Amino acid sequence: MSSQNLVTVTPDKDNDEIAIVTMQRPPVNSLNLELLQALSKTLDELSTSDFRAMVLTSASPTVFSAGLDIMEMYKPDLKRAEQFWSTLQDVWLKLFESNLITAAAINGHAPAGGCLLAMSCEYRAMVSGKYSIGLNETALGIVAPRWFMDCMLNTISQREAEIALTTGKLFSVEEALKVGLIDETAKDKEDAINKCLGFIEKFESIPPLPRSMTKQKFRANGVQWLKANKQADIDEFVHFLKFPQVQQSLEMYIHMLKSKQNKSE
Ligand SMILES: CC/C=C\CC/C=C/CC(=O)SCCNC(=O)CCNC(=O)[C@H](O)C(C)(C)COP(=O)(O)OP(=O)(O)OC[C@H]1O[C@@H](n2cnc3c(N)ncnc32)[C@H](O)[C@@H]1OP(=O)(O)O
């Protein structure tokens, strides 16, 4: 089963009830509207399939996901920006509340929206190396929405989350393990997937319905807020994009990313 080429779904080689879901939008899996639509469609398909668990990972050798595609926010077409944000909300709700057992094999960097995807899963194994993970929005001059924060609060302590978000902190793999942002480190992608499979195995003898209902009760607060405030949240995003200071910060950030590349050439 696959949902466009941007996301592939393959059954695990030893257990066809487990889906390996791979994002593949080179070079860095930045989440543009099309990748989000592909993820949304995939999550719909998985919810009605025979799969009982999924491992989210990336086809890139060094990046899980670079987060939201900045070009969707820089001088945007406002209609598309609305659709973009609404699709991101849907992906988050579908993944965070999924009936399936969800785990992330984080095989590289996972800033901002990449971290959000990983935190939306129930378990995270991250490949060791010079990778980073976190919600770095403030460092870009933007503010993470409340449901990003709720998602982080479901993962690490309020104090760690507040400091991390206000400082725009990107955690090293070791730091992420220490605060509980990830559950395990892995030596490579295969090992990360195996560690996720190990987590999934824990539910072998647990009936799926009480399991997923229990998970959803734990996650209800953030979900209920977004469901009740979906349009207001979209309006806020679009309004925010219209601020000249926000556009200026994004422009500077884009230049920084491009000059970083020139320097290393
Ligand atoms: C009311 C609410 C309002 C607003 C809330 C908005 C919330 C936003 C959440 C987000 O997700 S914002 C996005 C934050 N993402 C980042 O800060 C990550 C930026 N990228 C990086 O730090 C690095 O690219 C990397 C560490 C992920 C990978 O490094 P490396 O492997 O060295 O690749 P390059 O940096 O050379 O990048 C290759 C290529 O990709 C472009 N790119 C990178 N990230 C993005 C991105 N997020 N969006 C769009 N494009 C991106 C980069 O510019 C290079 O492009 P070239 O054309 O120069 O090849």
Q: Which has the higher per-residue pLDDT, 261 or 41?
A: 41
ipTM of the assembly? 0.97
For 37-43, what is the mean pLDDT?
98
Q: How far is the CA of 57 from the centre of ligand 1 (A)?
A: 17
Q: What are phi and psi of 27, to 5 degrees?
A: -90, -15
Chain mean pLDDT for the chain: 95
Q: Which pair of tokens denotes residue 60?
A: 């890139």
Q: Of the candidates 74, 56, 53, 73, which has an alpha carbon nearest to the alpha carbon of residue 64?
A: 56
Q: What is the pTM of this model?
A: 0.96
pLDDT digits (tens, 9 = 90+) for 192-232: 999 999 999 999 999 999 999 999 999 998 899 999 999 99
pLDDT digits (tens, 9 = 90+) for 156-183: 999 999 999 999 999 999 999 999 999 9
Strand duo 132-134 + 123-127: pairing: unpaired
Whole-number Å distance between alpha carbons of 65 and 48: 26
Whole-number Å distance between alpha carbons of 265 and 260: 9
Whole-number Å distance between alpha carbons of 121 and 91: 12
Whole-number Å distance between alpha carbons of 56 and 48: 17
Whole-number Å distance between alpha carbons of 7 and 3: 6
Residue of 28, 29, 30 best suited for mutating to test ligand 1, as the one with most atoms within 8 Å of CB: 28
Is 2-264 a CATH 3.30.450.20 domain? no
Q: Of the candidates 49, 59, 29, 41, which has an alpha carbon nearest to the alpha carbon of residue 3?
A: 41
Ligand 1 binding pocket, CB closer than 6 Å: 27-28, 30, 62-63, 66-71, 109, 111-113, 136-137, 140, 142-145, 236-237, 240, 257-258, 260-261
